[in-house]
Amino acid sequence: MLMELLISLILIIIGTKLAGHLCQKIGIPAVIGELLTGVILGPALLGLVLHTEAISLFAEIGVILLMFLAGLESDLEKLKKYLKPSVMVALFGILLPMLFLSGAAHLFDIPWKEALFLGVIFSATSVSISVQVLKEYNRLDTAEGSVTLGAAVVDDIAVVLIVSIFSAVLSSGSSGGSSMGVGFIWDLLGSKILFFLGLFLFAKFILNPLLALVKKIVAVEVETAFGLVLCFLFAVLSEKVGMSDVIGAFFIGLLLSKHESKHRIEHNVSVISYSLFIPVFFVSIGLDIELSAFKEYALLIIVFTVLATLTKLIGGYVGGRLTHLDKNQSLIIGAGMVSRGEMALIIVKMGESLGLINEGLYSAIVVAIILTTLFSPLLIKYAIEKGEKGTTA
């Protein structure tokens, strides 16, 4: 068992790093290479790595750390400054994909419950991929860069909360509960409200004294270790109250992002995460893809990819224009919102665990997510070059 795991990890690490190198050379996000590594190494092609329980555990830790880092990397001040346009962009970026993707899914004879969940999946935006691409083009510190980041964070939080409520309603229905009274609403939202209240009180009264105490402890990488403890603790707590563990990890990362120890924690956790756990997560997605499903779902993949791209592009553009950003800024924001990346993949996994997505449909959705992630950098590049041509004309 151990030897099989170690061999799998060796293949995953080598494969993802080589794939990342190739992706950098051809100018696409490294996450695409990691996903394709899973397809190549997995049952779909070579069959060298299987999706075992051990791989699943590594992947789950990778998801938690990924969202913890997303919180740490967020700039609260910029998010506050551009809050209004960010919320507007996020709103349109959620509503349009939910409306059009759910409707399209139902036209493919997918029941409404599953169709609505597919709409939720494609409402998510990849924070890390958007940031990476905007950094490459030196646009992250601009108004359009800040709005893109803010909107991506807002809509990811909203989508994860929607998924949590969605799963709670499903659980209630499967257990025979049909009452929608005050008791049901409290069961659905009460523990979640208490969680966020506890998080607020922890940040206001406990976090700073705790960090000061930790700094006095003489031990190797004590701040990083403490950051991981908080990450895992709040992941457990959010899971206990019926939400996804990634919510707790993200929010404690967001709270830590305001402290001076943030950079040390972020650097060290990034080293741990991107060396092993996060690549395993992305590869694990590819391991589940069945190439045989592509033929059956070819039309669905094309329709979903086109709609997923257009709804985010148009939603971001409309949201930007309604908050008085110019046409080029709004186009860049729309392009930056197209990439689905890791957040949509996380929600796909949730949908699979809830029994809302079968194996063939799972593979089709992952392919559509990969394609939108590939298109986003190209669309951002086009929008930026279009704007530059307009200013020099």
Q: Of the spans 150-154, 161-165, 279-283, which averages the highest pLDDT?
A: 279-283
pLDDT at 387: 74
Q: Is the distance from CB of 367 to CB of 122 less than 8 angstroms?
A: no
- Does residue 313 contact residue 334 with C-beta atoms inside 8 Å? yes
> With 90 as the cut, is the pLDDT of residue 305 above it?
yes
> Which range marks the domain in which residue 354 is found?
1-390
On the question of pLDDT at 72 being above 60, the answer is yes
Between 153 and 226, name the one with better pLDDT.
Answer: 226
**pLDDT one-digit tens code per residue, 330-356:** 999 999 899 887 678 778 877 877 778
Contact between 231 and 249 under an 8 Å Cβ cutoff? The reply is yes
pTM: 0.76
21-65, pLDDT tens digit by residue? Answer: 998 888 776 777 888 899 899 988 899 999 888 998 999 899 899
Distance CA 23, CA 35 (A): 12
By the 8 A CB rule, do 335 and 321 touch?
Answer: no
Residue 322: what are its φ and ψ, rounded to 5°? -70, -20
Phi-psi region of 236 (alpha: psi -120 to 50; beta: other; left: phi over 0): alpha
Q: How many domains is the chain partitioned into structurally?
A: 1
pLDDT at position 7: 95
Domain CATH for 183: 1.20.1530.20
If you average pLDDT over residues 201-229, what whole number do you get?
91
- Among left, alpha and beta (phi > 0; psi -120 to 50; other), residue 126 is beta
Per-residue pLDDT, averaged over 277-304, amounts to 84
Token pair for 326: 């110019």
Residue 147 in this model has a pLDDT that exceeds 70: yes
Q: Which of 106-110, 128-132, 148-152 has the highest mean pLDDT?
A: 106-110
Per residue in 368-378, pLDDT tens? Answer: 888 887 788 78
> Poorest-confidence range of 61-70, 81-90, 167-176, 260-269?
167-176
Question: In the predicted model, is pLDDT for residue 90 greater than 70?
Answer: yes
